[in-house]
Amino acid sequence: MSLSSTLARRAAGKTAAPRRQLRGNARYAPTLATLGLFLAMFAVGAGMYPSFLSGQVFLNLFIDNTFLIVLAVGMTFVILTGGIDLSVGAVVALSMMVAATLLQQGWNPAAVIILVLLIGSTLGLAMGLIIHYFDIQPFIVTLAGMFLARGLCYVISLDSIPVTEGFFTGMAQAQIPLPGELFISPGVVLALAIVAAAFFVLHHTRFGRTVYAIGGNENSAMLMGLPVRTTKVLVYVLSGLCSAIAGILFSFYSLSGYSLAAQGMELDAIAAVVIGGTLLTGGTGYVLGSVVGVLVLGIVQTFIAYDGTLSSWWTKIVIGALLLAFILLQRLFTRKTG
């Protein structure tokens, strides 16, 4: 080997190392930007409203958004594979309607919860199988799933169904005390447990590594012998299961079932995941980032509630602006690491 070729290889190696380091750092940048935005918004709120700095205000972000956190967990798995699930909001509403109807008929709450989870998982399985075997875009299949689930809600009832069963009302009113006269709801504990389980699965199991590999390059994942087809189906099962759990948590929160409930919640979940740093093209993102994305959406709502003069529609306007900004930010980092 000539001296010139040896020097060229060494120079190439020295150039490649910083590029790999840049790619590694850029993977965390969108999530860190989301965390920085959340802290900045919280600091601004504390400066504008003295009571904003209360620990309970922070905990209320979790209490009021337990269902959205769980929904965002399922959506994170789907988007990491490069897919999308537009049915989650309708499945939340369907879960609420089924639960409220069966509880009103005197069903045992444990049986109701199990049935609701099975319905959500089965709908997710059906959509995943259709996407896989018929090679149809997830957008189209989950859009059809959204119409199906929402239509079933209307078939069950057009009116709101109150939930008066003892276990559900007890969960709605229960508080877990924390030091400093603070509290959280049992739903927060369940949501955080699901987040912890999702984090473990994504980063410490073969299934999680396959999810990232599919989003990075599906053809390469297949050539590596990874179970691509099974994993793509299972992420929609997981999304359906998370939607059903979110429906149960929303039932605890609202103590009712309504066919028009959770309209647009699928868009909130997608926005939270994207704002949390997950690329819409898949392969990059973190479930903890999605949780921070949910908190950002929650703090926007809190700002508007504290102001008292702004319409609730400003929440959608701000979320839309943030979503656009983070998509542009993702594009910027993708170009830098390309």
Both structure tokens of 26: 């850029």
Both structure tokens of 249: 């948590």
Both structure tokens of 217: 């390059």
Domains and CATH numbers, the chain: 29-337 (1.10.3470)
Total-model pTM:
0.90
Q: Which residues fall within 8 angstroms of residue 41, CB to CB, at 6 or more apart?
A: 296, 299, 300, 303
Query: At which residue do the structure tokens 């299934």 appear?
Result: 207
Crossing angle, helix 109-133 and helix 88-104, to 10 degrees?
150
Provide the greatest CA pair distance for the chain.
85
Q: Which residues fall within 8 angstroms of residue 175, CB to CB, at 6 or more apart?
A: 183, 184, 185
Q: pLDDT for 109-155, tens place per residue?
A: 999 999 999 999 999 999 999 998 899 999 999 999 999 999 999 99
What are the pLDDT tens digits along the chain (338 aa)?
Answer: 454 444 345 544 444 444 444 454 566 777 888 899 899 988 888 888 888 888 899 999 999 999 999 999 999 999 999 999 999 999 999 999 999 999 999 999 999 999 999 999 999 999 999 998 899 999 999 999 999 999 999 999 999 999 999 999 999 999 999 998 999 999 999 999 999 999 999 999 999 999 999 999 999 999 999 999 999 999 999 999 999 999 999 999 999 999 999 999 999 999 999 999 898 888 889 999 999 999 999 998 888 888 777 677 777 888 888 888 888 877 776 666 55
Alpha-carbon span 71 to 77, nearest angstrom: 10
Could you tell me how many residues make up the chain?
Answer: 338
Neighbours of 224 (CB within 10 A): 11
